[in-house]
Amino acid sequence: MTLEQSFRQQGHVPAAGLKHALPAPGARPPAFIRTARLTLRPISEADAVAIYRGFAGRAKATRLMNFPRHLNPSITQAWAESCEGRWQKGTAFAYMIVLDATSQNLGSIELALNKGEAALGYILSEPFWGHGFATEAARALVTWAMMQPDLSRISATCHPDNIASIRVIEKAGLQFETRMEDAIAWPQLDRRAGPSLVFSRKIVQQQPQLRRQRGA
Ligand SMILES: CC(C)(COP(=O)(O)OP(=O)(O)OC[C@H]1O[C@@H](n2cnc3c(N)ncnc32)[C@H](O)[C@@H]1OP(=O)(O)O)[C@@H](O)C(=O)NCCC(=O)NCCS
């Protein structure tokens, strides 16, 4: 079964023509997403120490992130708590990326939703870089976003030097949109405002007839 079919089967995508009959408008991805090798599940407070040790407190993993490296586990604890709150509000969905074969936590990936647009961000623990895991997780969330009638665009932003992340974004199906010179702060590079690349993809819903033709 493809991810697309699985999202439909789980009822996270409105059936054709039913958009306006949905009880609560607003896109909300499934709490658990399975891919070939991974499970994405919501981050909770209980993950704080693993997140701090694995990547949020690590200089190399956070070097090209736009948040300050966590200097102690209590910062991670507060962030993990905030993830739970944002899940409840429906504004952002932060997942732990878990490797099914070993149950190891590889990193995190988040889809933030605002005014009908989705933004993707991710970070992995260094020992797990280079195995296609970020791409696999990103593709899952892009696939879900592309099926949402309430969303019009998905984007991801990264530092121009972050070649690995650029590849992940491109392999997940987003295209280069623009370069900004001073829109983003890069705390680990001591830049209050520095360059960034924006990648995006428009979300255009297929006509119900086309979906039926494809057997969805
Ligand atoms: C960016 C990051 C998430 C990538 O995760 P990953 O699981 O290693 O990514 P993937 O294996 O799915 O793909 C990485 C791609 O980048 C390429 N790559 C990795 N390092 C590279 C480098 N230094 N130069 C050029 N390409 C590089 C890989 O070859 C691969 O591309 P390919 O499939 O075309 O060969 C991971 O490196 C990370 O967590 N970095 C720190 C946090 C971060 O930068 N997050 C993104 C913020 S925008």
Averaged pLDDT, groups of 10, the chain, 216 residues long: 79 47 65 98 97 98 98 98 96 98 98 97 98 98 96 98 98 98 96 95 74 54
Question: Would you say residue 210 lies in a domain?
Answer: no
Nearest ligand 1 atom, CA 157? 48
Whole-model pTM: value is 0.91
E-assigned strands of the chain?
A: 33-34, 38-42, 92-99, 104-114, 117-124, 153-158, 175-186, 191-202
**29 alpha carbon – ligand 1 mean position (Å):** 24
Question: Would you say residue 189 lies in a domain?
Answer: no
Within 6 A (CB) of ligand 1 lie 61, 64-65, 107, 122-124, 129-135, 158, 162-165, 167-168
Question: Would you say residue 181 lies in a domain?
Answer: no
Query: What are the backbone angles phi and psi of residue 156, rounded to the nearest 5°?
Result: -145, 145
Domain count, the chain: 1
- The CATH number of whichever domain residue 12 belongs to comes to 3.40.630.30
Question: Would you say residue 190 lies in a domain?
Answer: no
Domain that holds residue 73: 3-154
Query: C-alpha distances in angstroms, 159 versus 26, 63, 156, 166?
Result: 30, 10, 11, 9
Residue 16 pLDDT: 47
Residue 4 pLDDT: 84
CA 133/CA 130 separation, integer angstroms = 8
Question: Would you say residue 174 lies in a domain?
Answer: no
Question: Would you say residue 54 lies in a domain?
Answer: yes
Smallest CA-to-CA distance from 121 within 111, 135, 131 is with 111
Nearest ligand 1 atom, CA 107? 39
CB 113 within 8 A of CB 91: yes
